[in-house]
């Protein structure tokens, strides 16, 4: 790709950010924060060997948030010219003049801002030409078709590479940023046997292209998963243990992090309100938020407000140790920022389990969930109900594939009834959690 590389240097972004801060001060702002960024990337998709889409993107943005006391306004532009910048700052000031005062509004506390910036190796360029991306996508899909004659169709294979960098600055004197990258390979295929057809896919996502799983592995894994679902059937309604396979177990951790996020808490829209110091999980469950992992997909020396990040124990021996708070949500709750404006960083979950096969043997009889459908989660009560597909286990071994069932429970009870969390962690996500075995859930089938 001939246009690879950033169009603006970090120094240019610093100058733009400082200019915007100066304009805001001249306009009467009591405080201001500015974010200047650009990103570019290439995505190539093929289906049945033919190019389906080929997209190249390049974007840039300058966003300004100003404060007039405790009134705030926000505006942004993709035009970096002096005239556009001045108009953007004035628009933010105009909005602030007409908004109501919010006693919790304002910049992050100065003493909490990051002062050290370790090299976390978050940017790894991938100088991939369009023809190379197409060839790699074809290679991925071809590996899936070659795996078995029952792979009869494809929803496509895709290769994507994205790079970006930014500078974040505030009128308190904070100014820092970094470059980052995110690259991926994916494939989804359809297996057919008789009149039955099943779809499945697989993907990998990393900071560095050399860390990605091979195209052949991703294609074969997509095929293996689709083939494994052939002959899927319903099961009778029952109550049984449920084992969430690692890819879908991440959604449970997403439910947990949302429930302990400041926004949900100060709106009283969380079933984990006022739960610090209480046992939320069994004693064998540990959850750590670690922003300092080299090449981690959630790594950063500071959060979206410039607040320094640090490794934190969120759950120790099953007991909730703290929330995920921005400066605003912390003020609303009468607490202090935890450096989590923007959410969790790298969530590391452990809980005494082994591989998926070992946990299935431990379960004995029950349902392995490999796919979830719908979004039936009530965060106020914790009630949980989602469509699911996967495999039925008898005597510790997979007996047959299952489809068109619904699993239901309550997240508070589900978390407390976690029997084990596996070590089959996938590194393709900022949430690193293996398979999760829950003692019992209601399964609605035929």
Domain annotation covers residue 44: yes
Which residue do the tokens 């990258």 mark? 181
Single out the residue of 367, 402, 422, 398 nearest to residue 253, CA to CA: 422
218 and 270 fall within a common domain: no
Domain annotation covers residue 4: no
Cβ–Cβ < 8 Å for 207, 178: no
224 and 271 fall within a common domain: no
* Four-residue CA torsion sign, 323, 328, 330, 334: negative
In the prediction, which pLDDT does 4 show?
A: 62
Domain annotation covers residue 38: yes
208 and 303 fall within a common domain: no
Domain annotation covers residue 1: no
Cβ–Cβ < 8 Å for 395, 238: no
CA angle centred on 386, ends 384 and 392, rounded to 5°: 115
Each residue of 22-72: pLDDT tens digit?
999 999 999 999 999 999 999 999 999 999 999 999 999 999 999 999 999
pLDDT at 2 over 80: no
Percentage, residues of the chain above pLDDT 70: 99
Which of 228, 251, 283 is the C-terminal boundary of a domain?
Answer: 228
First to last CA, the chain: 53
Single out the residue of 129, 278, 150 nearest to residue 226, CA to CA: 150
363 and 216 fall within a common domain: no
Domain annotation covers residue 5: no
Domain annotation covers residue 293: yes
Which of 228, 256, 288 is the C-terminal boundary of a domain?
Answer: 228
Query: In terms of residue numbers, what domain contains 411?
Result: 232-446
Cα distances (Å, whole numbers) of residue 239 to 242, 366, 378, 438: 9, 9, 21, 12
134 and 267 fall within a common domain: no
Which tokens in the block code for residue 316?
């120790």
Single out the residue of 77, 80, 76, 71 nearest to residue 28, CA to CA: 71
206 and 272 fall within a common domain: no
Cα distances (Å, whole numbers) of residue 349 to 111, 180, 422: 30, 24, 9
271 and 303 fall within a common domain: yes
Cα distances (Å, whole numbers) of residue 350 to 206, 256, 319, 360: 21, 14, 14, 17
Q: What is the CATH number of the domain that holds 89?
A: 3.30.2290.10
Number of Cβ within a 10 Å radius of residue 141: 28
180 and 103 fall within a common domain: yes
Which of 209, 228, 247 is the C-terminal boundary of a domain?
Answer: 228
Which tokens in the block code for residue 117?
């910036």
The pLDDT confidence band at residue 1, using thresholds 50, 70 and 90, is very low
Compute φ and ψ for 144, nearest 5 degrees: -70, -45
Each residue of 226-240: pLDDT tens digit?
999 999 999 999 999
pLDDT at 149 over 60: yes
Domain annotation covers residue 60: yes
Q: How many structural domains comprise the chain?
A: 2
In the prediction, which pLDDT does 247 show?
A: 95
d(CA 324, CA 258): 9
260 and 157 fall within a common domain: no
> What pTM did the predictor assign?
0.94
340 and 361 fall within a common domain: yes
358 and 403 fall within a common domain: yes
201 and 263 fall within a common domain: no
pLDDT at 414 over 50: yes
Reading phi first (left if > 0) and then psi (alpha if -120 to 50, else beta), residue 343 is in left
Number of Cβ within a 10 Å radius of residue 225: 21
Q: What is the mean pLDDT of residues 334-348?
A: 97
pLDDT at 419 over 70: yes
Domain annotation covers residue 341: yes
């Amino acid at each position: 790709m001939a246009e690879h590389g950033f169009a603006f240097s970090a120094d240019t972004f610093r100058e733009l950010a400082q200019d915007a801060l100066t304009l805001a001060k001249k306009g009467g702002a009591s405080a201001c924060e500015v974010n200047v960024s650009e990103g570019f990337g290439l995505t190539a998709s093929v289906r049945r060997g033919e190019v389906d889409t080929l997209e190249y993107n390049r974007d840039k943005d300058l966003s300004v948030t100003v404060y007039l006391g405790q009134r705030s306004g926000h505006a942004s532009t993709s035009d970096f010219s002096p005239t556009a910048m001045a108009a953007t700052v004035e628009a933010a000031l105009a909005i602030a003049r007409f908004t109501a005062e919010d006693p919790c509004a304002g910049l992050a506390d100065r003493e909490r801002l990051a002062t050290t910036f370790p090299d976390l190796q978050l940017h790894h360029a991938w100088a991939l030409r369009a023809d190379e991306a197409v060839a790699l996508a074809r290679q991925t899909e071809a590996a899936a078709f070659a795996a078995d004659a029952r792979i009869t169709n494809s929803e496509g294979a895709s290769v994507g590479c994205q790079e970006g960098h930014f500078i974040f600055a505030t009128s308190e004197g904070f100014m820092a940023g970094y470059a980052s990258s995110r690259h991926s390979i994916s494939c989804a295929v359809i297996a057919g046997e008789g009149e039955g057809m099943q779809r499945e896919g697989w993907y990998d996502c990393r900071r560095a292209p050399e860390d990605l799983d091979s195209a052949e592995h991703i294609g074969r894994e997509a095929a293996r998963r689709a083939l494994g679902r052939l002959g899927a059937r319903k099961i009778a309604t029952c109550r049984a243990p449920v084992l969430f396979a690692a890819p879908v177990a991440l959604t449970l951790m997403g439910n947990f992090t949302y429930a302990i996020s400041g926004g949900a808490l100060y709106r009283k829209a969380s079933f984990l309100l006022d739960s610090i110091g209480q046992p939320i999980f069994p004693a064998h469950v540990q959850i750590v938020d670690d922003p300092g992992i080299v090449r981690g997909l959630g790594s950063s020396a500071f959060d979206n407000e410039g607040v320094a990040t640090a490794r934190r124990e969120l759950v120790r021996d099953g007991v909730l140790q703290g929330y995920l708070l921005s400066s605003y949500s912390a003020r609303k709750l009468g607490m202090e920022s935890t450096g989590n404006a923007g959410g969790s960083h790298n969530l590391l979950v452990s809980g005494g389990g082994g591989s998926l096969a070992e946990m299935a043997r431990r379960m004995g009889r029950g349902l392995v969930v490999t796919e979830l459908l719908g979004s039936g989660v009530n965060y106020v009560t914790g009630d949980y109900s989602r469509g699911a597909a996967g495999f039925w286990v008898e005597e510790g071994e997979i007996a047959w594939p299952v489809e068109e069932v619904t699993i239901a429970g309550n997240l508070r009870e589900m978390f407390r009834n976690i029997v084990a969390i596996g070590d089959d962690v996938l590194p393709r996500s900022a949430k690193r959690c293996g398979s999760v075995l829950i003692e019992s859930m209601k399964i609605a089938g035929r």
